[in-house]
């Protein structure tokens, strides 16, 4: 097996992990080389993340003039400091983008699915936060190209950064501009990115022989257009399900999570190892990422040790958003958008990235009950 093939196999483990799928065990066993060269352009430097103003420090002794605190003598006992598994960084935050580009390239295309993935190497645990694509946001670096316009839908940030528009010159292109937009508007701290287009998504599903999704109730049946029961989907059917928006954008995100969990379950089955050549063919030259082979090895190792129940999918509470219309000079008409208080969303993002949400109580004054995170079975 060539070095290139080994790199691709390890690369598959990243996609498996961040699309809530498996394959880590095989990749970890077949690739042990550590390299520091990213597989794509790195992200730009982001502003430091700060805690939201709603957080307050715990009461404690006041600092002295030298900034130190004097405590009464106590008896000390040895403690066990948590250690990150697989030589990981402790916490890694990854932007995962599903592009609606229909070809094999990323010249154009909107961000059809936007996920912020928090990877905890200590627990270990993976938590995935969905960002609505229709949020009205400030997009850096577009004003000079749009006659001073600074705001657009969140999914447009990806389009404007890609080579077809190239509204900024950073090598990370659309993935980088989308990551920067999330940082500017919501304080998201993003370490790496992974971007997959529609054709590659179909190839992933077809290469593993399709996926099985189970529709358990009438409400899910209504939003997925599938009857109650278990259904086997090929790549085109799975793509149709994740893009189904007839019931609304929030139900659409739920459909995407159903498919992601089904992919994870399929790719963690032992039989997938025999299909590695097909997966290599599906991924080759069709993925955009700035992971290094060393990071891929860490992620593959983590995937092999993480219980399925430690993968959870979460969305912002739906009551935080208001469907409205906004005049858009680009289209010279009023377009449908989602409006939200960015201060509240920043608070959620900060808690998410610190590991306090969805485990902690809802921030600020949220009157409706939060959505329950979906754990992959």
Q: How far, CA to CA in Å, does 199 sit from each of 101, 114, 262, 343?
A: 8, 17, 18, 36
Q: Which residues contact 218 (CB under 8 A, 6 or more apart)?
A: 228
The C-alpha atoms of residue 160 and residue 230 are separated, in whole angstroms, by 40
209-228 confidence digits (pLDDT tens): 898 988 888 888 887 788 89
The C-alpha atoms of residue 166 and residue 85 are separated, in whole angstroms, by 39
Q: What angle separates helix 276-283 from helix 198-207, to the nearest 10 degrees? A: 180
Task: Give the predicted TM-score (pTM) of the model.
Answer: 0.74
Read off the pLDDT band of 88 (50, 70, 90).
very high
User: Do the strands 374-375 and 333-339 form a parallel or antiparallel pair, or are they unpaired?
Assistant: unpaired
233-287 confidence digits (pLDDT tens): 998 888 888 877 666 667 777 887 788 788 877 776 767 655 655 665 556 667 8
Nearest to 25 by CA among 82, 86, 84, 89: 86
Give the number of other Cβ atoms within 10 Å of residue 171's Cβ.
11
pLDDT recorded at residue 371: 54
What's domain 3-49+85-361's superfamily in CATH? LCP protein (3.40.630.190)
Domain boundaries defined on the chain: 3-49+85-361
Give me the DSSP letters along 289-319. Answer: E---HHHHHHHHHHHHH--GGGEEEEE--GG
The C-alpha atoms of residue 324 and residue 17 are separated, in whole angstroms, by 35
Could you tell me if 191 and 92 are in contact, meaning their C-beta atoms sit under 8 angstroms apart? yes
The C-alpha atoms of residue 279 and residue 272 are separated, in whole angstroms, by 9
26-51 confidence digits (pLDDT tens): 343 444 443 567 878 888 776 655 54
Length of the chain: 377
- The alpha carbon of 230 is separated from its chain's Cα centroid by a whole number of angstroms, namely 27
Specify the higher pLDDT residue, 104 or 344: 344
The C-alpha atoms of residue 162 and residue 164 are separated, in whole angstroms, by 6
pLDDT recorded at residue 261: 80
pLDDT recorded at residue 231: 92
15-33 burial: b if 16+ Cβ within 10 Å, else e: bbbbbbbbbbbbbbebbee
319-361 confidence digits (pLDDT tens): 999 999 999 998 899 999 999 999 999 999 999 999 999 874 4
């Amino acid at each position: 097996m060539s070095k290139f093939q080994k790199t691709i196999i390890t690369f598959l483990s990243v996609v498996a992990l961040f699309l809530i799928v498996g394959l880590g065990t095989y990749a970890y066993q077949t690739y042990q080389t550590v390299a520091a060269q990213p597989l794509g352009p790195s992200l730009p430097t982001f502003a430091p993340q700060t805690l939201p103003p709603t957080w307050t420090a715990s009461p404690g002794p006041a600092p002295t003039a030298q900034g130190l605190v004097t405590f009464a003598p106590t008896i000390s006992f040895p403690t066990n400091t948590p250690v990150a598994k697989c030589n990981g960084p402790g916490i890694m935050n990854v932007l995962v983008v599903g592009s609606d580009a229909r070809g094999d390239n990323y010249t154009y295309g909107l961000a059809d699915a936007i996920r912020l993935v928090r990877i905890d190497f200590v627990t270990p645990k993976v938590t995935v936060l969905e960002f609505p694509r229709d949020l009205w946001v400030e997009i850096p670096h577009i004003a000079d190209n749009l006659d001073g316009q600074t705001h657009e839908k969140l999914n447009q940030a990806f389009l404007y950064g890609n080579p077809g528009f190239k509204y900024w010159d950073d090598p990370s292109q659309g993935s980088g501009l989308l990551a920067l937009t999330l940082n500017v508007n919501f304080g998201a701290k993003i370490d790496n990115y992974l971007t997959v287009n529609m054709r590659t998504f179909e190839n992933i599903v077809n290469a593993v022989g399709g996926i099985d999704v189970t529709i358990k109730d009438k409400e899910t049946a209504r939003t997925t257009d599938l009857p109650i029961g278990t259904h086997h989907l090929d790549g085109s059917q799975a793509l149709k399900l994740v893009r189904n928006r007839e019931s609304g954008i929030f139900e659409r995100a739920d459909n995407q999570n159903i498919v992601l969990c089904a992919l994870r379950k399929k790719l963690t089955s032992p039989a997938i190892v025999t299909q590695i050549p097909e997966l290599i063919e599906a991924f080759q030259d069709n993925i955009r990422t700035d992971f290094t082979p060393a990071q891929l090895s860490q992620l593959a190792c983590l995937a092999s040790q993480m219980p399925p129940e430690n993968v959870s999918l979460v969305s912002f509470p739906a009551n935080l958003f208001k469907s409205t219309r906004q005049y858009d000079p680009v289209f010279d008409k009023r377009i449908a958008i989602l409006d939200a208080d960015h201060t509240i969303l920043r608070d959620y993002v900060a808690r998410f990235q610190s590991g306090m949400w969805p485990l902690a109580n809802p921030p600020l004054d949220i009157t409706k009950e939060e959505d329950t995170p979906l754990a992959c079975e």
